[in-house]
Structure 1
Amino acid sequence: MSEFLIVLLAGVASGALNAIGGGGTFVALPALVALGVPPVTANAVSRVALVPGSVASAWVYRREIKQVEGVATRDLTVVGVLGGSVGAGLLLALPASSFDAAVPWLIAFATVALACGPRLSRTLASSRGRAAVLSPRVLLAGQFLLGVYGGYFGGAVGILMMALWSVGTGLDAATGNPMRTAQVTAVYLSATVLFLTASNALSVPGHLTALLTGAVAGGFAGAHLGRRMPARLLQGVVLTTATAMTVLYFLRG
């Protein structure tokens, strides 16, 4: 019962964090590993369990989803889903150690990009005489790579997406949060299909149930909270989360 409660609370925190700014994997995954679940299995379980919470958040945000400038939402979703499928396949076929070594650097880059993205985008756009800094093709290529990352590991993929959009189009965190939630959901869904059919994610049904239940409650509540947070406060939450994850991952070594 104590393990169930721990995983349930981790699910609530993960779902809420994903809805507000991203980074829920960094609560769910360590909780499962600490309870003895093998890392690769814990990675798959956390991805499967967080999907319903992401869906709940996306449903709350459905009327506020705004298109990323210059890129059709359908195209953005398709490349993200394809990337998520590729990444999930890599997780099942390759050892996690090599890619895990790059995670702190990816998150550190995302943190810097989120902090400086809007100002950098405006500066570059002004010098080039147009609003968007990155072309639609570059944005789609970046979205595919983030889909691969999201399917393989998933941690801070939403933060990385916001960093890409922020630098590429000047999109701010508050405006982009609903789209971020929807795109992360699409990537996780594509990975989940493969995990449920080809991995041992269902080998720990008690943990999966607890995490899933908590993530749905946290995702629903977090999305309602995120809608009411001022843009500057939301940006602060996202940056604080990204900074904390970067420090923790570097300390983990």
Structure 2
Amino acid sequence: MDAMILVFSAGVFAGAMNALAGGGSFVSLPALIAVGVPPVQANTSSTVALFPGGLASAWAYRDGLRPVGSVALRALLLATLCGGLVGAYLLLRTSSAAFTFVLPWLLLVASVALAFGRRFGEAMRTRWHIHASAVLAVQFVLGIYGGYFGCAVGIMMIAVWRLLDNCDLKYLNADRTLLVSAANAVAVVAFIVANAVRWPETLIMLMGAIIGGYSGARIGRRATPGTIRAITLLVTFCITLAFFVKTYAATLLIR
């Protein structure tokens, strides 16, 4: 019972984080590992649990979909779907030991993306302008990351798109939400077909994430962006640090 309360609470918190600033996987994944779900299966289960909330957001943004610069949205969608399928396959082929070893680094990449991704995009846009074909290639790679792990992939997408499109960031949110959901969608199908999901924990977390997503959207209307960002970054970096300590302290002790 205590384990399910933890999973449900993590779902609420993760759903709220995704609604406010992203990074919900920082909460959902550690919670599943904490209740005894193997690391790879915890990642697949977290992806499935948080997927409906992202899909609802994509539907809400549907009127704002548009090309990114000169790149058609369909081309970006196809690249993302293909990349997401590759990423899901790679995750399913990864052993729990290997995933446990690489997980702190994935969390660090996501933390840095959350903290500096948009600033990086702005800084690079003043110096570089990339061709549409390069955007599609990078989008395919981001799709792989999205299917494999996915945390903060939306921020990474926007940072790349800003090298091509000079529009206001808010006009890219609809495309970002759709393409993150696309990478997750093919991953979810692959995980379910491969029977790689722990359903009891996943369904409990899914219900919590729906509640958290709704609550987070309401909180977001009142809280200041600076407060939301500060809390999100504090949570993400603390969890990342905890995983580094847990993983590599254990390795040093074994040696």
TM-score for the superposition, normalised by structure 2 = 0.80
Corresponding residue SS for 2:27: helix
Corresponding residue SS for 1:124: coil
Seen in structure 2, the aligned counterparts of structure 1 residues 222 and 76 have a Cα distance that, compared at 3 Å, is: farther
Partners of 1:139 and 1:18 in 2: CA distance: 25
Seen in structure 2, the aligned counterparts of structure 1 residues 222 and 183 have a Cα distance that, compared at 3 Å, is: farther
Q: Equivalent residue for 1:80? A: 80
Q: Percent identity?
A: 39
Q: How many residues align?
A: 240
Q: Equivalent residue for 2:188? A: 192
Q: Equivalent residue for 1:9? A: 9
- Contact 1:53/1:217 (8 A) holds in 2: no
1:38 Cα deviation from its structure 2 partner: 1.1
Partners of 2:168 and 2:240 in 1: CA distance: 26
Q: Equivalent residue for 2:41? A: 41
List gaps (5 residues or longer) in structure 2: 245-255
CA RMSD of aligned residues (A): 2.8
Corresponding residue SS for 1:48: helix
Q: Equivalent residue for 2:116? A: 112
List gaps (5 residues or longer) in structure 1: 126-132
Seen in structure 2, the aligned counterparts of structure 1 residues 189 and 250 have a Cα distance that, compared at 3 Å, is: same
Corresponding residue SS for 2:68: coil
Moved more, 45-54 or 235-244: 235-244
Q: Equivalent residue for 1:18? A: 18
- Output aligned runs, 1:133-148, within 5 Å: 133-148=129-144
Seen in structure 2, the aligned counterparts of structure 1 residues 57 and 225 have a Cα distance that, compared at 3 Å, is: farther
Corresponding residue SS for 2:130: coil
Partners of 1:39 and 1:145 in 2: CA distance: 23
Seen in structure 2, the aligned counterparts of structure 1 residues 221 and 33 have a Cα distance that, compared at 3 Å, is: same
- Contact 1:174/1:235 (8 A) holds in 2: no
Moved more, 28-37 or 170-179: 170-179
Q: Equivalent residue for 2:127? A: 124
Residue 232 (structure 2) aligned to one of 236, 241, 245? 241
- Contact 1:156/1:242 (8 A) holds in 2: no
Q: Equivalent residue for 1:71? A: 71
Partners of 1:178 and 1:242 in 2: CA distance: 23
1:159 Cα deviation from its structure 2 partner: 2.3
Partners of 1:236 and 1:109 in 2: CA distance: 18
Q: Deviations over 1:71-129 (max 9, x none)?
A: 211111111111111011001112324643542553355233322422431x226xxxx
Corresponding residue SS for 1:22: coil
- Counterpart AA for 1:113: G
Q: Deviations over 1:115-157 (max 9, x none)?
A: 2422431x226xxxxxxx2221111111111111111112222
1:229 Cα deviation from its structure 2 partner: 7.8
- Contact 2:26/2:107 (8 A) holds in 1: no
1:178 aligns with 2:174: yes
Q: Equivalent residue for 2:202? A: 208
Partners of 2:106 and 2:142 in 1: CA distance: 12
TM-score for the superposition, normalised by structure 1 = 0.81
Partners of 2:14 and 2:104 in 1: CA distance: 23
